[in-house]
Each structure stands twice: as structure tokens, then as C-alpha cells.
Amino acid sequence: MDETAPVPPERRTAPDGVTELPTVSSLAELGDLVEHHGPLYIRWSRSPAGDVRDTHSADHLTGITMPGLSANPLEVEKWWGDRPVRLWVARRLYDYCHLREERDGDVRPWTLRGREVARGPDNEPLLRDIEPVCWIDLAVIEEAEEEVARQRRPWGPMRR
């Protein structure tokens, strides 16, 4: 590992033995994780603990149980070129920020590692062997929305 690369946020263990996840508090911090500690995925859910216990997502249209947890890759695609990683992670957060509103604020974004076992109906990776990495602070979503709004032609949420 490059000694000059930022280290992932430190994990602490709570008195009950459960690992508490650190929280990423800026797009820059999330971008650093993606650049130096990928491949990472983002997931919107109530909690990593619940997802680790039940590592299956359901297709919302059909109700079919899928063979892994749906998540979206944070790894920067080559076609992104030399554009800022900060803008890439803003885009990835922004694409699904509507989920929080649609689910009455009952979900939050967090990052994870995992083994891809299949693809979901929107071609999203389905993951097993989940390793939660960190929460993403809700202020980072606001920062992502502001970043997107500054672009020449603002993007709209994907609404999937």
C-alpha cells in the first residue's frame, strides 16, 4: 500500500463487541477512499448489520429474491477520463439520493466491499461476502447535490 495514500477511516469496537462503522464526512474523503482503497460499492439501506445478516435483495417490481445485495460500484470508469474523482462520487451519490425521500428517510448510504455473484434487473452488481466499510454522512449528499447543481447541465436522479 502506498504510504502517502490516505488510510480508511478507523473502526472502533463497541462494548457489545459489534464493530461501529466510521463515517465519511466529505466528497473529498469519499473520493480518497475510492481512489486508494477500491473497489468499493455504495448501498442505501437501514443498516449494514441487517444487510450482512440477510444478504439478499428483492426485485421491487416482481418481488423475486435475488442471490445477493444490490449495490452500485464507486470505482471510476475509464471513460470518465481525467475528470475529478470528487465529481464522480458526487454523481454516484446523486443517482440514487431519491431513495431516501421515497423511503421516508428510513435509508442511509454506506460503502462496502463484496464479491459480485450476479447482476440485478438494472444491471447493478449483486454482492455476497459483504464487508461494510463506512457510513456516508448525510451532509455529503447535500455536498453532492451542490456539486451537481454547479455543472453546466444539471443531472436528474435516475429514479430506479
Q: In the beta sheet, which residues pair with residue 44? A: 109
The residue with greater pLDDT, 112 or 158, is 112
Please write the tens of the pLDDT for every residue from 73-90: 999 999 999 999 999 999
C-alpha torsion angle, residues 64, 67, 69, 74 (rounded to 10) = -120
| Prediction pTM value | 0.80
CA–CA gap between residue 91 and residue 73 (Å, rounded):
12
Q: What does DSSP say about strands 108-119 and 41-45: parallel, antiparallel, or unpaired?
A: antiparallel
Please write the tens of the pLDDT for every residue from 26-62: 999 999 999 998 799 999 888 888 888 878 888 888 9
Report phi then psi at 156, rounded to 5. Answer: -110, 150
Name which of 102, 116, 101, 133 is nearest 29 in CA terms. Answer: 133
> In this prediction, what percent of the chain has a pLDDT beyond 70?
78
Name which of 145, 160, 23, 25 is nearest 87 in CA terms. Answer: 145
Report phi then psi at 68, rounded to 5. Answer: -165, 180
pLDDT of residue 160: 45
Residues 6+ apart with CB under 8 A from 93: 27, 30, 42, 109, 136, 140, 141, 144
Report phi then psi at 78, rounded to 5. Answer: -60, -35
